[in-house]
A and B are shown apart, each in its own frame.
Chain A
Amino acid sequence: MDSPTPIEIRNLSKTYRLGFFMNRQVRALQSLDLALMPGQVYGLLGPNGAGKSTTIKILLNLVQPSGGEARLFGLPPTNREARRRVGYVPENPAPYEYLTGREFVTLAGRLAGMSGKELDDRVSEVLGMVQMTRAANLQIRRYSKGMVQRVALAQALVSKPDLLILDEPTSGLDPVGRRQIRDLILEERHRGTTVLFCTHIIPDVEALCDRVAVLVGGRRVREGSVAELLSSQATHVEMTVEGLPLERIQALGISLELARTLENRVLLHVRDADAQRMLKQVLEQGGRVTQLQPARFSLEELFLRALEEARQGPVGGEIS
């Protein structure tokens, strides 16, 4: 069954009613639009309370939206056939502790409609993929956090899903564990699986994602590929100059955002509007420009900037 859009979200909103009398309202999502194309690795980036997990929970029929629409492969999340094509790992997964890893993954396969030898073979295969073969027959209560995370990933993969939804898959893991999970996500991408994952760990997004949406206060404040997002922020030019001391460059009277002497060269950040003038004057003064490129912003800087902008505008949170 081929469907063009694994995930399509239009104008999605969620307001939680809290308290004994349900009289406190907290807006978790506001008019969110999102679309994932097949084979994409899509990151939802945002601070705690940004609405990342709520988005994922609506997609998995764990939470009902207050407004708008979410679709999995063209079907509503309440439809079991839509969920059959999805593998999900929640944040801090808590599988049944009394089961062994193998038993839990087998149960997940059965619930997804698998059975017999096909299921047994697939369970062994996915346990191997997450490097849990040796611990597969231990009860989950004896597992470390990293092992639980890997078993949770195995149960998500057991039914060969077309779409993987991962909620903070690497949070709380040591560097080795994080690396293993990241490698598994990349392997799945090579197999053609679409992946949506949410995180606040920026290096994971940079390493894995084709596209990113930054959520703050229940709103999407940025969206695009990592390269697009970073270049859209580049309003400065980075220039490396040799053969001209910093004092003489400063004497040219062009405003510098950054100026630093590095051994025998000078590194400058100049505003876009001043770049051509600076280039001309440096050459006229006998200097050599050995490098000229848009100043690189890290995703972290972009994220913090988006956070700052969102704080100044009306965003989600408690509304009554």
Chain B
Amino acid sequence: MGPFVALAFNGFREARRNRVTLLVAIFALAMILSTTLVLEVTVGTFDRVLTDVGLGAMSLMLVLLTIFLSSGLISREIERRTIFLMVSKPLSRGAFLVGRLLGNMLTVTVLQLAMAALFFLMMLFYQSPITPTHLAAVGMLWFELWVLSGVGFLMSSFSSQMVSAFVTVSIYVAGNLASDIYSLAGKSKSEAVQSLGKAVYYLLPDLSRFNFRPHATYYASVSSSELLSSAAYGMAYTGVLVALAVLLFNRRDFR
């Protein structure tokens, strides 16, 4: 096991032993299971509610967990001064950062797989049809979590956990509204507002590109090219965030 993999597995172990992660995992699984209760009071749109509540709970819990984990990823190590023991080891700062990020994503991925398995089991149990769009909605959520992780991780490399978490939540909200901001600004008569809208759109991650939950709820089809382009966008955006984090981290003094 190389240093890189050792760091990733250590990150997974850290999350596994963190009570917050366990609580979120238990709560998320309970929420998906509680879909049963919602179905009791549902008339007619049974399949839609099952998909909507299941995917919604999964998304909400994983987004919260990702923000919590990624925003404290590096800042906690710097605050506690564990970073002295790690950065002095014979590995590059970039490798250390990426190893930590992979550990974070390993945790999120394992939890997402568990939640997805439970969700699809419930759909099978209630004989609700599972379509490729359902799989796409779950898969694209994974790319959204990469981007969010990247934002939290970048912020965490130079600011405190509180600031990182606040900025990441803000970017999550703004990122989901990026397309709306762009189209609203386009309707303005002021060129300055239009330019600002464009700038916001291109600068912020367009997180609505990863949201295929409505498609799954209404059994709409999704083209593979659309999925591929969204996935590529997510990985490229994360790549830029990680590169920026490495750049900043390489220049830092750890006093």
Contact = CB atoms under 8 A, between A and B. Distances in A.
A257 B81 CA distance: 50
A16 B255 contact: yes
A101 to B, nearest CB: 13
Interface stretch (B2-10, B60-68, B215-223): B2-10
Contacts of B166: none
A81 interface: yes
Interface in A82-125: 83-84, 86, 88, 90, 92-96, 98-99, 103, 107-108, 110-113, 115
Interface string B233-255: 00000000000000000010111
Contacts of B14: 96, 98
Contact of B88 (A16, A64, A88, A103): A88
Contacts of A111: 3, 6-7, 86, 89-91
A155 interface: yes
Contacts of B255: 16, 57, 63
A187 B84 CA distance: 25
B170 interface: no
B37 interface: no
B161 to A, nearest CB: 16
Interface residues of B, number: 27
Given A98-B17, A98-B18, A110 B88 contact: no
A155 B86 CA distance: 11
Interface in B15-53: 17-18
A96 B253 contact: no
Contacts of B6: 107, 110-111
A152 interface: yes
Contact of B85 (A63, A83, A108, A113): A108
A258 B244 CA distance: 67
Contact of B81 (A81, A92, A99): A92
What class of interface size applies to chain A in its complex with B?
20 to 34
Interface in A35-83: 57, 60-64, 80-81, 83
B82 A94 contact: yes
B91 A61 contact: no
A64 B253 contact: yes
Contacts of A57: 84, 253-255
A110 B3 contact: yes
Given A57-B255, A83-B89, A110-B3, A99 B13 contact: yes
14 contacts: A57-B255, A60-B84, A61-B87, A61-B88, A83-B88, A86-B88, A90-B88, A93-B84, A94-B81, A94-B85, A96-B14, A107-B6, A108-B85, A108-B89
Interface of B: 1-3, 6-7, 10, 13-14, 17-18, 80-92, 251, 253-255
